[in-house]
Amino acid sequence: MQKLTDLKQKDGVDQVWLSHWHEDHLGFLNLFNNCTLRLSQRDFPPLTNIEIFLDWYGIKEKHNREIWKNIMISNFNYQPQKEALFLKDDVVIDLGALSVQVVSTPGHTPGQLSFFFPDEEVLFLGDYDLTTFGPWYGDVYSSIEQTTASIHRLKNIPARRWIASHNAGLFEENPGKLWNDYENVIYQREEKILDFLSEPKSLDEIAGAWLIYGKPREPQEFFEFNERVLVGKHIEYLERNGKIVLYKNKYMKV
């Protein structure tokens, strides 16, 4: 927090750009209340109201909503945003000393943006973070298909340095094989689910097998939810592609 405060007071900050709407990117927005907020219009609704925020995560049960609401407010300083300026997809913005291309990379969220600085050959990946866990696409409006397309797009941008929001953070050499490994996690998850459906299984049985995380993790409420929503996205994807069907409340391979 001190570094951000110093940045604001010593260097001056007049705009805050968000790659997407998730809480781990919002925690210090309150330090920049007098600055213009910029992001994709597609990701703005959950920032305007915490109930919409929880809806976009798909948290339905009343007790769980209260728990998550308290976490978002106490741990992540959630504050409703009344206004923002919207970054348009794929425009190049002249910032004076440098320019930046706004790169539309939906999938993680509908309005996830990445940023390419062509003169510096620097690409900010946002949450396409190239971790061994793989991509996240578990929100209500996330998409496996869009995630895959966005990975391909980012992989082909002619950068020399890559910055991600999590884990390694900075890649000063081409991530190379990491791109393929990251995308392949999607297909590995799919294969695990299909293998598990050697006999018909319910959604509860599939989620209870911990095929995504590999084993139960703590806090259990958090990881059980994450496991279920990621499995749910794959179930929807496999149904759309005609690989499984639902029969008598159980999923079976076609």
- Same domain membership, residue 110 and residue 63: no
Is 228 in contact with 205 (CB distance < 8 Å)? no
pTM for this prediction: 0.94
Q: Is residue 84's pLDDT more than 90?
A: yes
- Cα 240 to chain centroid distance, Å, stands at 22
Please indicate, yes or no, whether residues 106 and 75 belong to a single structural domain of this protein. no
8-state DSSP, 164: E
**Is residue 152 domain-shared with residue 193, that is, in the same domain?**
no
In this structure, is residue 24 part of a structural domain?
yes
Based on the domain organization, do 118 and 162 belong to the same domain?
yes
Indicate whether 244 belongs to any domain. Answer: yes
Long-range contacts of 24-27 (CB under 8 A, 24+ apart): 24/76, 24/165, 25/165, 26/76, 26/77, 26/78, 27/75, 27/76, 27/77
**CATH code at 170?**
3.60.15.10
Burial class (CB in 10 A: 0-12, 13-18, 19+), 248: exposed
What average pLDDT score do residues 131-136 get? 97
Tell me what the pLDDT averaged over the chain comes to.
Answer: 95
Instruction: Read off the tokens for 181.
Output: 């490994």
Residue 153: strand, helix, or coil: helix
Number of domains in the chain: 3
Q: What confidence score (pLDDT) does residue 4 get?
A: 72
Q: What local confidence, expressed as pLDDT, does residue 1 receive?
A: 65
112, 43 in Cβ contact below 8 A? Answer: yes
Query: In terms of domains, do 65 and 138 share one?
Result: no
Instruction: Return the ∠ at Cα 178 (arms to 174 and 181), rounded to 5°.
Output: 155
Q: In whole angstroms, what is the distance from residue 79 CA to residue 113 CA?
A: 21
CA distances from 149 to 106, 136, 198 (A): 8, 14, 30
User: Quick check: 25 pLDDT over 70?
Assistant: yes
Q: Are residues 96 and 78 in the same domain?
A: no
Give the helix/strand (H/E) hosting 4.
helix 2-6
Residue 68 lies in a domain: yes
CB-based contacts of 120: which residues, under 8 Å, 6+ apart? 98, 161
Do β-strands 244-247 and 250-253 pair in parallel, antiparallel, or remain unpaired?
A: antiparallel
* Last residue within a domain, chosen from 86, 119, 144: 86
Q: Looking at the domain assignment, is residue 184 inside a domain?
A: no
**Per residue in 179-214, pLDDT tens?**
999 999 999 999 999 999 999 999 999 999 999 999
Answer with the one of 175, 203, 228 that is the final residue of a domain.
175
Domain membership of residue 126 (yes or no) is yes
The single residue listed with the structure tokens 């079976």 is: 252
Expressed as residue numbers, the domain containing 150 is: 92-175
Last residue of a domain, one of 45, 70, 86: 86
Quick one: average pLDDT of 31-43? 95
Residue 183 lies in a domain: no
Residue 107 lies in a domain: yes
In tens, the pLDDT along 136-177 reads 999 999 999 999 999 999 999 999 999 999 988 999 999 999
Residue 11's contacts (CB-CB under 8 Å, 6 or more residues apart) are none
Please tell me the total number of residues recorded for the chain in this structure.
254
Do 82 and 134 belong to one domain? no
Query: Are both 205 and 149 inside the same structural domain?
Result: no
Q: Are residues 82 and 99 in the same domain?
A: no
Residue 247 belongs to domain with CATH number: 1.10.10
Backbone φ, ψ for residue 216 (5° rounding): -60, 140
Q: Based on the domain organization, do 57 and 96 belong to the same domain? A: no
Whether the Cβ atoms of residue 45 and residue 141 lie closer than 8 Å to each other: no
Can you give the pLDDT at residue 8?
Answer: 65
